[in-house]
Each structure stands twice: as structure tokens, then as C-alpha cells.
Chain A
Amino acid sequence: DGGITQSPKYLFRKEGQNVTLSCEQNLNHDAMYWYRQDPGQGLRLIYYSQIVNDFQKGDIAEGYSVSREKKESFPLTVTSAQKNPTAFYLCASSPTTTYEQYFGPGTRLTVT
């Protein structure tokens, strides 16, 4: 089955702790993306990568970090510097031909 997996589905952390969200794809897509979704708002781009070992900041990168060591994997770390980390996080990938984006099931992060 081809697709995008995100784990875990739910994640709870205490304030001040860093946390890493996993995203894996077996679609052989070159580009991968991380978005944040808050209630009543559209998706906002955190980071994206169009090739291994290279990534760019999106609109709301402050307090987040990523790595792209393998084509299939694009983990997102939410650091203690992120002021309001509680949100629904979505990972996506796309081929760099059509740029049609495909999404994973999401991870809901709650920080207290």
C-alpha cells in the first residue's frame, strides 16, 4: 500500500520539552511538507523539502526544526521555543512534476 504515515496519532507533552513527529512516505515523492492546522484556520506551512539534505522555512518556522536525511522521511521537531505548540500537524508529499500534494493522517499534539 502506497501512502504517507504519521506517528503517533496523539501526542501529549509537558511545556518545555522538545518532541519529534514522524512522517514517512513510500510514494517515491521528492518533495515533503509540514503544515499546522488550528481550529477555524486554514493550513499554514511550517517547513518543506524538495530534495534530500535540503529544506526551506515556510510561513511559521519559528520554534520548529526538521531534517531530510532520507527521501522517505521528514521528521519535525517541535522545540520548547514554540509559543503555542498545541495543534494538529499534517505531513504531505508531492512529485516535483505535478506538485499534487498527498497528505498523511495527522498528529494531534497537546502541550500542557
Chain B
Amino acid sequence: KQEVTQIPAALSVPEGENLVLNCSFTDSAIYNLQWFRQDPGKGLTSLLLIQSSQREQTSGRLNASLDKSSGRSTLYIAASQPGDSATYLCAVLSGSARQLTFGSGTQLTVLP
């Protein structure tokens, strides 16, 4: 059964810092990996989707990498801003039913 782990569970950084969020998964046979952002009490916003054949995806200040063989992904946020404060969730699509398995998230606080 696929398991997804996100480290750290919480992170607090000063504004302007570059930071890395980590995601690991146990079964490397995945179709894709998605990074989401969730603000308190809200739904999830898709940030980046990396297909299994890709190594990385970029959107603005965000860059996500995927190393399928080692079961790892990282989300890099450049020049962090207070508006980046949210919970970031990693999810992998795997299995014959193409189900998403989610990590528990990293709660990020960017201090002004």
C-alpha cells in the first residue's frame, strides 16, 4: 500500500528566505505527483503536477522535482513571502484504480 510522508510537519521562516519542502513515497510505481496548497478552512489549490516521466516542473517562484527511483519529491519556494503561509500537501497517483495518496502536509509560516 502506498504511503506518503512529508517532512517537516511545520516550518517557520523569515520573509525572503528560500526553502525546501520534502515528500517521500514508498512505492515508486506512480503515474504522477501533485503539490497542493491549502489555506485554513479552504479547499486545495493545485500548484504543480509532475508526470512520472518528468524530473521537474516550475511555476513562478515554485519548482518541484521528482526522483521516482528513490521515492522523493521536493518543492522549492524562492524568496518566500507572508502570503505563502499555508499548508502544503504532496500526493501521488498510483495503483490500477489511479488513486491519489496524500501526505499529512507541511504547515508553513513566513514571518514578515
Is the pairing of A and B real? yes
By a beta-carbon cutoff of 8 Å, the part of chain A in contact with chain B is 4, 6, 33, 40-45, 48, 56, 58, 88, 90, 92, 98-106, 108
**Known contacts A48-B99, A56-B97, A58-B99; A101/B34 CB under 8 A:** yes
Range of interface residues on B (Cβ < 8 Å): 20 to 34
Interface of B is mostly: strand
B41:A100 contact, CB within 8 angstroms: no
Query: Is chain A's interface secondary structure helix, strand, loop, or mixed overall?
Result: strand
Q: Chain B residues near A88 (CB, 8 Å)? A: 41
Docked-complex contact B100 and A101, CB < 8 angstroms: yes
- Tally A-B pairs: CB < 8 A: 55
**The residue from A44, A45, A101 contacting B46, defined by CB atoms under 8 A apart:** A101
Q: List 13 interface pairs A-B (beta carbons < 8 Å), by A numbering.
A: A41-B104, A43-B44, A45-B99, A58-B99, A88-B41, A92-B44, A98-B51, A99-B31, A101-B34, A103-B43, A103-B46, A106-B42, A108-B41
